[in-house]
């Protein structure tokens, strides 16, 4: 997609950006809009492959990071500043799902999803805000939530609870960060299909979910990434603490 310099000269970090999902699409769109991008993921091989691919579009630097590890999160932010001199935009995309009835869900399954999806977003938000404060204020955080934070779906209690938590974290941290001149918003996709999702979700469930969408199809990762780029840009200069639904799903 042809860019319009919406993020010209901005330093953007995207977590969970290896592969073909929303994270890599967000990194690609940021590059197309003139940003210098740090991509991060816990899968180092896929991260290196993604960095090589995206490097054809602009300046890309890869830093492995597991968002459940505080030291690695801090190293991601510090490494970004060392490489590019500062941080301007933090896109918190890391999340972990799964399908399991509450009756069958183990403590470990519950805790793992919450630790990656909610607490991981908290860790990255905290680290980014501390960096913004050191830089004298200003900056943007964009979180990836989900419509299941609002809507009921069987087998998704852990994921839905985590994503509802991301929404609440977005609203409250935006108030904490306002005095720093930092904006914090989130997107809430309903269904964005990519190869990894197809591997962990049955075709029958995907077809059922697609039927619920007004357009009869899922979003592409790029369509979600476009909204992330908007929220990261100066066009969203008066938006903070908002959760934007990227969905055509019927209530």
Residue pLDDT, tens place only, 29-72: 999 999 999 999 999 999 999 999 999 999 999 999 999 999 99
Distance CA 95, CA 107 (A): 18
At 143 the three-state DSSP class reads: strand
Distance of CA 1 to the CA centre of its chain: 20
Read off the pLDDT of residues 174-228 as tens digits, 9 standing for 90 and up: 999 999 999 999 999 988 865 555 555 567 766 766 667 777 777 899 999 999 9
Question: Residue 251: what pLDDT?
Answer: 47
Strand partners, 213: 249
Q: What is the DSSP letter of 149?
A: G
Give percent above pLDDT 70 in the chain: 92
Question: What is the strand order of the sheet 60-62 is part of?
Answer: 60-62, 36-39, 11-14, 89-92, 139-144, 182-189, 243-246
Q: Mutual orientation of helices 22-32 and 221-232 as an angle, nearest 10°?
A: 50
CA distances from 66 to 77, 137, 159 (A): 13, 26, 18
Task: Name the residue among 77, 113, 87, 97 with its Cα closest to residue 199.
Answer: 97
Task: Name the residue among 69, 86, 95 with its Cα closest to residue 15.
Answer: 95
Q: How many residues does the chain have?
A: 251
Residue 244 neighbours by CB distance under 10 Å: 18
Burial class (CB in 10 A: 0-12, 13-18, 19+), 170: buried
Selected catalytic residue, list 84, 122, 132, 159 = 159
Please state the rounded mean pLDDT for residues 76-104.
97
Question: Percentages helix, strand, coil for the chain, rounded to the nearest 5?
Answer: 50, 15, 35
pTM of the full structure: 0.93
Burial class (CB in 10 A: 0-12, 13-18, 19+), 195: exposed
**Location of structure tokens 């501390």:** 130
159 has catalytic annotation: yes
Please state the rounded mean pLDDT for residues 230-239.
98
Distance CA 169, CA 172 (A): 5
Q: Kindly state the helix (H) or strand (E) to which residue 208 belongs, with its residue range.
A: helix 203-211
> 170: pLDDT confidence band, cut at 50, 70 and 90?
very high
Q: Kindly state the helix (H) or strand (E) to which residue 243 belongs, with its residue range.
A: strand 243-246
Question: Residue 197: what pLDDT?
Answer: 53
């Amino acid at each position: 997609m042809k860019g319009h310099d919406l993020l010209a000269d901005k330093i953007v970090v995207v977590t969970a950006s290896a592969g073909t999902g929303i994270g890599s699409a967000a990194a690609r769109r940021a590059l197309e809009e003139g940003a210098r991008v740090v991509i991060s993921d816990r899968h180092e091989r896929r991260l290196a492959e993604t960095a090589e691919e995206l490097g054809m579009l602009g300046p890309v630097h890869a830093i492995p990071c597991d968002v459940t590890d505080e030291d690695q999160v801090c190293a991601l932010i510090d490494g970004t500043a060392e490489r590019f001199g500062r941080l301007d935009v933090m896109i918190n995309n890391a999340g972990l799902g799964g399908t399991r009835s509450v009756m069958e869900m183990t403590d470990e399954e519950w805790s793992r999803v919450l630790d990656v999806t909610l607490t991981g977003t908290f860790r990255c938000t905290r680290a980014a805000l501390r960096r913004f404060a050191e830089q004298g204020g200003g900056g943007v955080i964009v979180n990836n939530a989900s419509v299941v934070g609002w809507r009921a779906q069987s087998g998704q209690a852990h994921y839905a609870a985590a994503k509802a938590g991301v929404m609440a974290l977005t609203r409250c941290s935006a108030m904490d960060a306002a005095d720093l001149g930092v904006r914090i918003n989130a997107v809430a996709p309903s269904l964005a299909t990519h190869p990894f999702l197809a591997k962990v979700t049955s075709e029958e469930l995907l077809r059922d979910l697609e039927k619920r969408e007004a357009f009869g199809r899922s979003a592409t990762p790029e369509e979600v990434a476009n909204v992330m780029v908007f929220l990261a840009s100066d066009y969203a200069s008066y938006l903070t603490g908002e959760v934007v639904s990227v969905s055509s799903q019927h209530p």
